[in-house]
Amino acid sequence: MSLDIERNRIVGRANSVLNACMAADLGSALGRTVGPGNVVVTGRDGKGFSRLMKRSLTCGIMENGIQVLDTRLIPAPVMRYCIVESQSDYGAYLGFYWRDQTKLAATFFDRTGAILDENMLQRILEAQGGCMRSVSAREVGDIIFYAEARSNYASQVLRSIDTQSISARAPKLILDCSNGAVSVTLPGILRDLGCNVVSAHDTPSAYMTHKPVMSNDSLMGDFAQEVAEEKADLGMALDPCGESVRFVDDRGDVVNQMDLALLLARNLGYKSMLVHGEMDTGLLSVEGIETSPVLKEHDRIIPGGVNLAFGEDETCYLGDQVRRWWDAVPVALKVVELISRVGKISELRAGN
């Protein structure tokens, strides 16, 4: 059994293939591939096994004369922002692969926050097997803990949000965080804005016993019913890493990506979008919205000049000069701004 490449990630069965020794070897292979003198930002999800793997990976990286900037428990989109914000050279993220909870994924990034391409990942895999070499104390890189990672990310995201409207409205929001690392970002940001937040499955160290709510129609139906019964203004079901989100309006109706695109375009003026194949580009063009198809390489990084992007698995993106990758948190905040400034989603949909 060996490590595999899936969707530009190196994945392996947790503890049967990707164990501590393999993680150290993989980190050493990354270090030898990129060379000494670089700075690598590291991060992980909240699972205990991910913590173990990241520490092993970090040891392998450091033995090659590379400085590590550790963000600790953080969602992958936040770590990508930290690479750019800190002007580091590379990034390495360890977390369970939410599409298959039996697998752990190691995702590597370049200085722009883009996921490394498959050719680079193949080079890293081919460099494995050299972590048993002797290393002098002078060759070992340093490690620094990036304590401001979450606060810097939150501050940057909120620059594009009308926070005063949200604080004045103080909407009631129900979140399902899939026991993922997104639990440490979005709920806290919303509470700091004065929102009434009810958060479920928000323990990052807990393992999922089922698929995330957002990817399970039966669970999503139960979640939507809860939003209506609790008379919440909005429901949000997120994937563990915070790249994807499904919204539920105040009446308990699930808002699909097409509805979301139209709501944001009609009420907040977004006119340039990337959309996946199942979305009705004809309907969007009637609204004067410029659309382009989502391509495979957009999993790595979103091109500039795009207001919004909607990918498969409910991934989403809100235009920004710094963050150009899938990240549901800014989109979620913009929808909260929408209901705070303009009105309830059910009423906006009915009016349109």
Q: What is the pLDDT of residues 16-45, one digit of tens each?
A: 778 888 999 999 999 999 999 999 999 999
What CATH code would you report for 151-351? Answer: 3.40.120.10
Q: Which residue has the higher pLDDT, 17 or 287?
A: 287
* Mean pLDDT for the chain overall: 92
pLDDT at residue 134 in the model = 67
Mean pLDDT, residues 238-255 taken together:
96
Residue 101 has pLDDT above 90, yes or no: no
SS3 47: coil
Mean pLDDT, residues 6-18 taken together:
84
Residue 131 has pLDDT above 70, yes or no: no
What is the second-level CATH architecture of the domain 4-147?
3-Layer(aba) Sandwich (3.40)
Report residue 132's pLDDT band, with 50, 70 and 90 as the boundaries: low
Strand spans (E) along the chain: 4-6, 9-13, 39-44, 67-73, 90-96, 103-109, 143-145, 172-176, 196-200, 234-238, 245-248, 254-255, 272-275, 290-293, 308-310, 316-318
Q: Which residue has the higher pLDDT, 341 or 207?
A: 341
Q: What are the start and end residues of each CATH 3.40.120.10 domain in the chain?
A: 4-147, 151-351
Q: What is the pTM of this model?
A: 0.94
Find tokens 């957002």 and name the residue. Answer: 214
What is the Cα–Cα distance from 299 to 207, expressed in whole angstroms?
25
